Amino acid sequence: MTMRPALLGIRHLALTVSNLEAAERFWVDLMGYMVEWRPDADNVYLRAGSDNLALHRGVYRAPVDESGQLDHVGLAVPKPEDVDAWAAFLTTHGVTLRTQPRTHRDGSRSLYCYGPEDILIQIIYHEPIAR
């Protein structure tokens, strides 16, 4: 039997956005990502921690629809109280929260907010991935 190769997890996400400049400002100025590479005027690659986020200018499609397209992007934080700190920070910067911070049955804590072009973003503390 062949052994399963190792995985590090989801470390790269690519999003198509109609307003690349606004999306870049959101991810860099608010969320703390850094520009890693800008191959041309229609593409930018960002990084934060071990994540790589590609933004590609293109035709906007709703981030969620009946077909099961992307539901949300989850960003992990190291402590439960960081979720509340993000809620305050995002609200202060005019970002709409879909949900207020709440603790779930498994002890995780999260909130949902809207990012560029209404993509749903979850800020989550979940102990197994916070280690």
* Tens digit of each residue's pLDDT (9 = 90 or more) over 66-98: 555 677 899 999 999 999 999 999 999 999 999
Contacts 24+ apart (CB under 8 A), 91-95: 93/30, 95/30
Domain with 32 in it = 9-61
Distance between CA atoms of residues 39 and 42, nearest Å: 8
Instruction: Let me know whether 82 and 125 are in one domain.
Output: yes
Distance between CA atoms of residues 128 and 109, nearest Å: 12
Instruction: Let me know whether 87 and 45 are in one domain.
Output: no
Identify whether 94 is part of a domain. Answer: yes
Chain segment 15-35, per-residue pLDDT in tens: 999 999 999 999 999 999 999
Instruction: Let me know whether 118 and 87 are in one domain.
Output: yes
Distance between CA atoms of residues 106 and 37, nearest Å: 38
Identify whether 38 is part of a domain. Answer: yes
Instruction: Let me know whether 54 and 98 are in one domain.
Output: no
Q: What is the pTM of this model?
A: 0.85
What is the number of structural domains in the chain? 2
What CATH number has the domain bearing residue 57? 3.10.180.10
Chain segment 37-52, per-residue pLDDT in tens: 999 999 999 999 999 9
Identify whether 2 is part of a domain. Answer: no
Instruction: Let me know whether 80 and 50 are in one domain.
Output: no
Identify whether 51 is part of a domain. Answer: yes
The answer on pLDDT for 63 being more than 80 is no
Q: How confident is the model at residue 61 (pLDDT cuts 50, 70, 90)?
A: low
Identify whether 3 is part of a domain. Answer: no
